[in-house]
């Protein structure tokens, strides 16, 4: 009897171990959520990019995520959306809480120590958001003596102060919506962050705010994935290329920035998605040395 019970316990451990290995080898097959679905991290509080609205999710990042998921074989109802706050993104990927993250996630060497990226799917540039009738601010150099809002923990406002306007007055808010409210009410004169984020805020403002339209940095938005997963990176990159070539990428930007006259910086957009692939892989639709 004792031998039988011991054998059963050992057999259960072996089965559990094999199941764990199987989970690590397949995408979204054995997560904490329903099997057969894909878990994608996005922002829930960024109008125009990743925004939770009455139980649905809208924005450019959401549209790109849906397109990629479809190319990977998942329908929209097979996507589980997860909120991905900036400070938690690396941990969410490393812990297996999500299969990928599209949340204005800039590709940096520091982040690549912890996760891998596919993409980029967009190149943003830091810009300024001002009131529609304010013609006194046409670039970061016009901010001396003005009040500038950015989100707590962001380096955007510090960049302006260090490089363009040493006498600017800085104000921090917990989120971009709060910065936009401060701008509406005249508490601040401008808001700064990536231009496409500002375009989303402007689009939600019903014509009361505008983007200056003179970006002065470059931020390469990537799809965050498990470190070293070159196979998934290649599939995502191929999907991004298809999205650009069939017009869906341009339509997604237009749909999510309506009424702002926003145009991505054509010097960098649309980008070439070449992150995360093996060095011997060719990017579809491009010519590369062999």
Q: Using the Cα atoms of residue 136, residue 141, residue 145 and residue 148 in order, give the sign of their dihedral.
A: positive
What is the arithmetic mean of pLDDT over 122-141? 97
Output 182 or 23, whichever has higher pLDDT: 182
Contact partners, residue 197, CB within 8 Å, separation at least 6? 46, 48, 49, 104, 124, 176
Tokens linked to 134: 């304010």
Render the burial of 82-101: b for 16+ CB within 10 Å, e for the rest.
bebeeebbbebbeeebbbbb
Cα separation, 35 vs 78, in Å, equals: 9
Query: HSE-up of 290 (CA within 13 Å, CB side)?
Result: 1
- Predicted confidence at residue 33, as pLDDT, reads 56
Sign (positive or negative) of CA dihedral 248, 249, 254, 257 = positive
Token pair, residue 131, equals 């009131």
Residue 267, CA distances (Å) to 12, 161, 197, 272 in order: 58, 25, 19, 12
Q: Note the pLDDT tens digit of each residue in 250-259.
A: 999 999 999 8
The whole model's pTM is what? Answer: 0.81
Q: How far is CA 104 from the centre of its chain?
A: 3
Tokens 């070439």, residue located:
272
> Are 137 and 262 in contact, with CB atoms under 8 Å apart?
no
- Distance, in Å, from the CA atom of 280 to the CA atom of 290, rounded to the nearest integer, reads 8
- 5-58 tens-digit pLDDT: 444 444 444 444 434 444 434 454 444 557 899 999 999 989 999 999 899 999
Query: What integer best gives the mean pLDDT of the chain?
Result: 87
CB 211 within 8 A of CB 199: yes
What distance in Å separates the CA atoms of residue 248 and residue 233, rounded to the nearest whole number? Answer: 20
Q: What is the pLDDT of residues 192-201, one digit of tens each?
A: 999 999 999 9
158 Cβ contact list (under 8 Å, min separation 6): 170
By mean pLDDT, which of 22-31, 103-112, 226-235, 279-288 is the weakest?
Answer: 22-31
Measured torsion, CA atoms of residues 255, 261, 267, 273, in degrees rounded to the nearest 10: -10
**254 contacts: CB under 8 Å, gap ≥ 6:** none
């Amino acid at each position: 009897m004792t031998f039988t019970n011991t054998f059963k316990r050992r057999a259960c451990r072996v089965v559990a171990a094999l199941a764990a290995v199987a989970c690590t080898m397949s995408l979204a097959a054995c997560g904490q959520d329903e099997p057969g679905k894909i878990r994608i991290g996005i922002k829930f509080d960024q109008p125009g990019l990743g925004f939770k609205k009455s139980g649905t999710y809208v924005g450019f990042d959401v549209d790109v995520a849906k397109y990629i998921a479809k190319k990977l074989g998942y329908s929209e109802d097979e996507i589980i959306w997860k909120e991905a706050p900036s400070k938690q993104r690396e941990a969410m990927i490393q812990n297996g809480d999500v299969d990928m993250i599209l949340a204005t996630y800039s590709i940096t060497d520091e982040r690549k120590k912890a996760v891998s990226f596919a993409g980029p799917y967009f190149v943003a540039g830091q810009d300024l958001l001002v009131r529609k009738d304010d013609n006194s601010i046409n670039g970061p150099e016009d901010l001396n003596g003005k009040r500038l809002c950015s989100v707590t923990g962001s380096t955007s406002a510090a960049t302006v102060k260090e490089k363009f306007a040493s006498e600017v007055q800085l104000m921090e808010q917990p989120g971009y919506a709060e910065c936009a409210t401060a701008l509406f009410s005249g508490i601040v004169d401008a808001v700064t962050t990536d231009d496409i984020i500002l375009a989303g805020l402007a689009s939600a403002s019903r014509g009361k705010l505008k983007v200056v339209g003179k970006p002065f940095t470059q931020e390469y938005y990537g799809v965050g994935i498990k470190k070293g997963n070159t196979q998934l990176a290649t599939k995502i990159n191929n999907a991004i290329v298809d999205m650009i070539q069939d017009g869906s990428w341009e339509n997604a930007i237009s749909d999510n920035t309506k009424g702002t006259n926003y145009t991505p910086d054509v010097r960098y957009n649309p980008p070439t998605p070449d992150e995360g692939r093996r060095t011997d892989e060719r990017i579809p639709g491009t010519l590369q040395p062999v």
